[in-house]
Structure 1
Amino acid sequence: MKKHEDLIQKLADCLAACQFCADQCLAEDDVAKMIDCIRTDRDCADACQMAINFVARQSSNSKSVVDLCRNLCKACGDECAKHDMDHCQACANACRACEEACENFLKVAA
């Protein structure tokens, strides 16, 4: 697990940022405008949690799960970047960092 410590940390950071962003979106004045953001936050958080589990236990399916996570991090980062709120911008940054960490893992795992 030590060799994937950076990836696991980025996944955990992204998971937390997505959970926080979704929660904060629910408190916005116009929640209806935040539906896509909330949904992508939740999808990304779930994918990050799954990727943490698979990478930590060195599953032979880690590559597939990390690839899915990378794609969902990109989608979530793109969605959150559309919104000016601090929580959305912080989430977009965490998603971008996680997407990059996933990409690096996939290059090594290939």
Structure 2
Amino acid sequence: MPAQQHESILDAAILCAKECEHCADACLDENNNMAECIRLCRDCSQMCWVSAGYISRGSRFIPQIVRSCIEICQACASECEKHDDDHCQKCAQTCRQAAEEYQKVANVAGVA
């Protein structure tokens, strides 16, 4: 899987990682119960950064990584959607878009 063929997934992964980092940081500044949102944003961001590396290298482990990315992005989006903050809503949308891109790779790789 050459990286050039998967620019959209790389772009989505990096954007998702950035938005999750921003959301987690913004949630830290709030004085309400945002612990789960912060945890999931951090997990999602880290996984998206990692996936970008695996995809860029054309690793044989992309199917396993993609499966995890889909699950984590969906969990992060579901949590962020619970909050009215603009940064949470933007993060949720970005996570959903990344999960869709990961699903395209999963479909090609035969991952359900």
Using the size of structure 1 for normalisation, the TM-score is 0.96
- In the alignment of these two chains, the number of paired residues is 108
Alignment-derived partner of residue 78 in structure 1: 78
Compute the RMSD of aligned alpha carbons: 0.6
Alignment-derived partner of residue 10 in structure 2: 8
Task: Quote how far apart the aligned CAs of 1:29 are.
Answer: 2.4
Q: Which 5+ residue runs of structure 1 have no aligned equivalent? A: none
CA distance in 2, matches of 1:24, 1:86: 10
| 1:36 partner letter | E
| 2:101 partner letter | A
Q: Which 5+ residue runs of structure 2 have no aligned equivalent? A: none
Task: Quote how far apart the aligned CAs of 1:50 are.
Answer: 0.9
- SS at the partner of 1:104? helix
Alignment-derived partner of residue 65 in structure 2: 65
2:54 equivalent to 1:51: no
| 1:109 partner letter | A
Alignment-derived partner of residue 109 in structure 2: 109
Percent same amino acid among aligned pairs? 38
| 2:67 partner letter | D
Task: Quote how far apart the aligned CAs of 1:109 are.
Answer: 1.5
Cα deviations by residue, 1:4-26 (Å, 9 ceiling, x for unpaired): 10000000010000000000000
- SS at the partner of 2:51? helix
Cα deviations by residue, 1:13-49 (Å, 9 ceiling, x for unpaired): 100000000000001122xx10000000000001101
Name segments (4+ residues, structure 1) moved above 6 Å: none
Alignment-derived partner of residue 26 in structure 2: 24
